[in-house]
Amino acid sequence: MHPKIVRYARRWLDVDAAGEVANDTMRSLHAKAPANPRSDEENRRLQSLCYRISEGLIKNELRAERRRDALFRALSRQNEAEFAVQHDFSDGVLGDAEVSRLLGELSPTDQTVLSLLLDGYRVSEMALVLECTPAAATMRLKRAKENLKLLLRRDGHWVEVSDEAAR
């Protein structure tokens, strides 16, 4: 019955999900049904039970997919609102071409870290993307900022603000 259930589930699900449904159906069937049907009638009932179990599992999987899709859409909308670009006085100081040129002069690691920062990632999230510890991500971010600051100073775009002037 396993291949038949996989084929049946493939009408609605992808290959992996259909295989899981077939496996779960066989597990449930094994727990509920006798080992060997004694007649053709018992065999038909067993096959019918098998399809009913798989049908319920398919419906559960489809509901789960809809919930995952809805959650993903909700999180995407939330992230768009949460990480919307906040414009401030510094917008327009450097043109996009100038920023791209400066970023292009940085190392690939610095470029990646700064682009993650600009995309609104927190250090803990950067660490996951960069496959390192949060401490290492913090250090990489600090170095990238310092390297960018050096390039900005070199080109005359960076102005040091003293503590007294900042107050």
| Domains defined along the chain, listed by start | 2-82 (no CATH), 96-159 (1.10.10.10)
Q: What is the dihedral of CA 37, 41, 45, 50, to 10 degrees?
A: 60
Query: Whole-model pTM?
Result: 0.45
Tokens of 167: 């107050």
For 54, what's the count of Cα atoms within 13 Å in the CB-facing half-sphere?
Answer: 28
Reading the chain (167 residues) residue by residue, the pLDDT tens digits are: 899 999 989 988 899 999 999 999 999 988 877 667 788 888 888 888 888 999 999 999 999 888 888 888 887 777 666 655 554 444 445 566 677 777 788 888 888 888 788 878 888 888 888 888 999 999 999 999 998 888 888 877 765 655 454 44
- Contact of 57 with 24, CB cutoff 8 Å: yes
| Long-range interactions of 118-125: CB distance < 8 A, separation 24+ | 119/83, 120/79, 120/82, 120/83
Burial 82-94 (b: 16+ CB within 10 A, else e): eeeeeeeeeeeee
Spatial CA neighbour of 156 closest among 102, 114, 115, 100: 102
